[in-house]
Amino acid sequence: MTTATLQPHTAAGRIDAEPVRTGGVLVATDASVESDAAIRAAAAIASRSGDRVSLLAVHRPITVAAVEVQVPATASMEAEALAGLELQVRDQTARLGIGADWPLQCVSGDPGATIAAAADHMGAELVVMGLGGHTLFDRLLGDETALRVLRMGSTPVLAVAPGFDGLPRRALACVDFSASSGAALRLASRLLAPGGQLTVAHALPVSTNGSATAGAYRGNVGRALDRMIAEAGCGPDIVVHRMVLAGEPSRTILRLCRDHAPDLLVTGSHGHNFLTRLRLGSVSTKLLREAGCSVLVAPPADTPGYLEEMQEERGRFVFYEWTERLEEFTRRNAGRRATLEVIDPEFGAQVEEVGMPFIGAAFDPRDARVQLMFGTDRAVHLSRNIPGITAVQLLRGRDGRDQILRVAHGTGQTLLTLER
């Protein structure tokens, strides 16, 4: 086993070295008890499919203190941390009696970005990771590692609940007829245990009445469900049911989870633009956090990584507009709460501030510096000075309100995301 520090282009989900297309299943582990279920799940999947399984453990380096101040760990500190992590994972596989012969790679970087980059790098068909064990800090950030892997990569993710001990026997697939939900359904049909049950459900708009729901079941929606089920390639030993319901998607699906207690919830994420991809989609996010069972999510198919999308000209200001546009941005959004995230190819993606009231943004043309200020109308509590600006870009939601301010600097970028 080679222990190394990869340098992923974290924002775009790439690794600098040439891809090694081994395919198969990538298991992300941190050697914790919560990740035991992921290793057990991968073993069960491989025993049925014959897929190759690889292990990846990620050491998070020292956090960036500020945009202007980067504090990298020394080479000896990194080597020691990686060696310790390797020993912990080896102890984990020995304790479980599973995976001792699987290739293991220990790397440094932001966990979500690094896992996504590694999966793309090896051409993995599936990433398997533990769903439990999130700290209160993770919950407050609202940015669990599984969500980050989905938003940054292009590989389906199976987030495994702690009680997972074999192939699922009851799966609930929630489809919206997008390409990603179809991909998730096809993958789920391969993961079900022989003799398992698969329920394929579609939620109609909240305003739909009962008779319309019944008509949809018999009409176009029902035929579309039949087509998706046929394309999923379920074996003759899988019992398939279909359901058409009315209601807000996430609430309806969570109610089905409570009523049917599936082993596996299956869904896609149909965001095809940067804004929806960055947030992954409210339905998928809510399901991953609240379903109470293992969750399989397929990201949007055939869409570029979010860095490539942001590098389009849409919403980008020319240099001589930066001062005026940031003043206008400040007038429109002062007082709104915001999240500040720094994405750097070397240090990964770091969420620095969450829920801070935004005061203002200003550009100083003398040294190409943008200042972002947070606090209250009485005082500035936090200020971020970002030098070496190369681009300023604004993205708005469908309602026309500002949502994300992107400030590119050097090889990285800072994202200011405003709460709705």
Residues 13 and 152 both lie in one domain: yes
Could you give the 3-state DSSP secondary structure of residue 62? coil
Note whether residue 1 is domain-resident: no
- First CA to last CA across the chain, in angstroms? 47
> What is the sign, positive or negative, of the torsion defined by CA atoms of 31, 32, 38, 40?
positive
Provide the token pair at 351: 């969420």
Tell me, what's the pLDDT at 208?
Answer: 47
Last residue of a domain, one of 258, 274, 304: 304
pLDDT tens across the length of the chain (420 residues): 333 333 333 333 333 344 444 579 999 998 888 889 999 999 999 988 888 999 999 987 754 444 444 445 567 888 888 999 999 999 999 999 999 999 999 998 878 878 888 998 888 999 999 875 444 333 333 346 777 787 777 889 998 988 787 899 999 988 877 788 888 889 888 889 989 999 988 877 655 445 544 544 455 677 778 888 888 888 888 899 888 877 777 788 888 888 888 999 888 765 444 334 444 445 666 777 777 888 898 877 544 443 344 444 455 677 788 999 999 999 999 999 988 888 765 555 567 777 889 999 999 888 889 999 998 766 667 888 998 898 888 888 767 888 889 898 877 888 898 887
Q: Indicate whether 288 belongs to any domain.
A: yes
407 and 281: one domain? no
CA angle 92, 96, 102 (to 5 degrees): 70
318/274 same-domain check:
no
Q: Token pair of 192, please?
A: 């079900």
Q: Pseudo-torsion of CA 382, 111, 128, 121, nearest 10°?
A: 120
Domain boundary among 238, 273, 304: 304
Note whether 18 and 149 are same-domain residues. yes
User: Using only C-alpha atoms, what is the Rg of the chain?
Assistant: 23
- Number of independent structural domains in the chain: 3
State the pLDDT at residue 257: 86
Residue 269 lies in a domain: yes
Residue 366 and residue 283 share a domain: no
User: Which helix (H) or strand (E) element contains residue 46?
Assistant: helix 36-49
Residue 186 lies in a domain: yes
Note whether 13 and 147 are same-domain residues.
Answer: yes
> Nearest CA to 255 among 290, 221, 285?
290
Instruction: Kindly state the helix (H) or strand (E) to which residue 91 belongs, with its residue range.
Output: helix 75-96
pLDDT of residue 301: 59
Q: At what angle do helices 210-218 and 220-232 cross, to 10 degrees?
A: 50
Instruction: Give domain status of residue 3, yes or no.
Output: no
- 292-328 burial, b if ≥16 CB within 10 A, otherwise e? ebbbbbbbbbebbbbbebbbeeebbbeeeebeebbee
Q: The domain that contains 297 carries what CATH number?
A: 3.40.50.620
Instruction: Tell me the C-alpha distance between 48 and 43, whole Å.
Output: 9
Query: Are residues 273 and 221 located together in one domain of the fold?
Result: yes
Domain encompassing residue 408: 313-418
What is the rounded CA–CA span in Å between residue 388 and residue 370? 9
The secondary structure of residue 273, as a DSSP letter, is: S
Residue 33 phi, psi (nearest 5):
-60, -35
Of 128, 157, 186, which residue constitutes the final position of a domain?
157
Q: What is the CATH number of the domain that holds 364?
A: 2.30.29
Structure tokens at 251: 């609430």
- The alpha carbon of residue 140 and the mean position of all alpha carbons in its chain are separated, in whole angstroms, by 16
Are 44 and 134 within one domain? Answer: yes
My answer on whether 78 and 173 are in the same domain is no
2 lies in a domain?
no
Q: Are 136 and 184 found together in one domain?
A: no
Query: How many residues would you count in the chain?
Result: 420
Same domain, 319 and 357: yes
Structural domain contains residue 344: yes
Residue at token pair 């960055």: 278
In Å, how far from its chain's centre is CA 272? 14
Q: Looking at the structure, do residues 141 and 210 belong to the same domain, yes or no?
A: no
- Which residue in this structure is represented by tokens 């990964």? 348
Question: Is residue 151 a part of any domain in this protein?
Answer: yes
Which of left, alpha, beta for 109 (phi over 0: left; psi -120 to 50: alpha)? left
